[in-house]
Structure formats: C-alpha cells, structure tokens
Amino acid sequence: MKPTLVILAAGMASRYGSMKQTDGFGPNGETIIDYSIYDAIQAGFGKVVFIIREEFAENFKGIFEPKLEGKIETDYVFQSYDLSPYGINEPIERAKPWGTAHAVLAAADAVKEPFCVINADDFYGRDSYEKMSKFLTSEVKDDQYSLMGFQIDKTLSEHGSVSRGVCEVDEQGFLKDINERTQVYFKDGGVVYEENGVETPLSRQAAASMNFWGFTPQIFADSKQLFIDFALANKENPKAEFFIPLVAEKMIKSGKARFKVIPTQSKWFGVTYKEDKPIVQQSIDELVLSGVYPAQLWK
C-alpha cells in the first residue's frame, strides 16, 4: 500500500499578505506545493490530501487538478470551526483555526493508509520524502510514528534570527522532547540560540522539527480526545492552538507512542513574509539549473 501525503494548507497567511499556498515560485509559476507533490510521487506516494478551508476548494482544484490528473490520486478535506463532530455544541469564538493537529483530524475519513503531514509553504527536499516513504512502508506502527529531523544549520536564514523547534533525541534515535527556541541564528561560523539575552551554542547538526510527521490512521483516534480536552480547556482563549508537537509530547509521556527522528541532509526553505519570495525563487532556480528538477515540472 502506497503512503499518502497530507498537506496543511488551511492557514490564513496573514503575515504574507496573500495566498502563499498558491503563489508561484518556480520558473513557470510552480507553487511550493507542486515541488512537494513532485518529490512525493518520485518517492512512491500514491495519494495527496489537501487540508484547506472550504472557501479555497474551487481555487485549489482549478490550480492542481489539471497538473495532477493521471499522476496521483487527490482529495480535499476542510478544516472547520464547527466542533459538533467532537460533541462540543456550545459556540466558541475563534479568530483563527484551531491549529495543525486539529487540521490533521479533518483528514480522518480520507486517509486509511500510513501517511505523512507537511506544511504547504515549506520546501523539504527529495531526500526527506524518500526517507519518509521508506519509513511509512517498512517501519511505521500504531505505536511508532516519526518526524523528519532537519540539520538546524540547513534551516536558518542569513538575514536574521528565526524560531525553531530543536529536537532532543535519545540514544536510539527517538524523540524525547522538542524545545522551542525563539531566536536562533548563525554567529562566528556556528549556530546559537538566544534566551533572556544569553547566547547558547547549538550543534550545527542539531535536529530541528519543520512539521514533517509520519503516522498511521491510529493517530486520529489517539488525538481526538486530546483535542476535545484542549478545546474545552481553552474556550476563553481564542488564540490557543492545538499543535502536532503537543500531541507528540502527550503520547511520549503517556507511553502510548514513540517518534523516530529521521535525519535528512535536505536543505529546508519556506515563506513567511513577502520578502522571503525572491530567496525561495532563487533557491528553486538553482535546483532547476543543477538538474534536480525539470524547468517545466509537469510536462
């Protein structure tokens, strides 16, 4: 059974100022999603599921269906503010969606095979998909999930500090914890993070989580009650979000599952602000020129 690629594309993109999920970055207007799906197909994935807001549906289908027809199976599911499917019928005011782990729950009826979850606006590289595909076809179990561990020095910007989830990994290569470092940057040929004005060195090879996870469908049952508890506890907190690392932390601490951290040499890049666009375009152009991708991705 081929694994499925689940793409988180329901974000508001408020800092970018427009729909970065469908913005063009490649030489012929290819989106970052195009490259993700292309790499996934090459790595043996058989289906892609887009998690979007319902009002995006026609736009997404119009952009991706003509390219993907006959190449990979596609499906679309919607992240909604409606909590009645979880037995929560009281209205809870929200300014934004409930977060990445809630978005994954929206795919429960569409995904029946091992799958990975990625962000729509992050470029992860071919090596990541190949390694995740191998894990999902040979190692994944209902109590053994995974995440890609990107070398932190391959995820940083030359233009300032970034926030990164730095993985703490045990001797067997399994996740112990993810420590959120809000100011990580290059300094004097190395990598440091800053906290309360104090700089602490990090290994350039430290594993960073960039929201690239591998699961079986068991995760839907595992995380549903966790989300219900979270939503009820945060009724008065409209900015609270139910993130995938929160689910991972609770499952590890309860002994319900462990997460293998899969190292990759892929260079990550992504877009948060409009100013990131030319950098991403240049990075993709270099990959095309070096022969990693064809100039026209979907010939």
How far apart are the C-alpha atoms of 261 and 144, rounded to whole Å?
Answer: 11
Q: What pLDDT does 182 receive? A: 87
Question: Rounded CA gap, 264 and 262, in Å?
Answer: 7
pLDDT in tens, the chain (299 residues): 899 999 999 865 544 444 667 788 999 999 999 999 999 999 999 999 999 988 889 988 999 999 999 999 999 999 988 899 899 988 888 878 899 999 999 999 999 999 999 999 899 999 999 999 999 999 999 999 999 999 999 998 777 788 899 999 999 999 999 999 989 999 988 999 999 899 999 999 999 999 999 999 999 999 999 999 999 999 999 889 999 999 999 999 999 999 999 999 899 988 877 778 888 999 999 999 999 999 999 98
143-184 residue pLDDT tens: 999 999 999 999 987 777 888 999 999 999 999 999 999 899
4-141+209-249+271-289 in CATH: which number? 3.90.550.10
Tokens matching residue 241: 């979000």
pTM over the 0.85 mark:
yes
Please check whether residue 70 is in contact with residue 64, taking contact to mean a CB–CB distance below 8 angstroms: no
Q: Which residue in 113, 290, 129 sits closest to 218, CA to CA?
A: 113
Is the Cα dihedral 220, 221, 223, 226 positive or negative?
A: positive
> What span, in angstroms and rounded, lies between the C-alpha atoms of 264 and 247?
23
Residue 64 vs residues 34, 68, 160, 173: alpha-carbon distances, Å:
8, 6, 34, 37
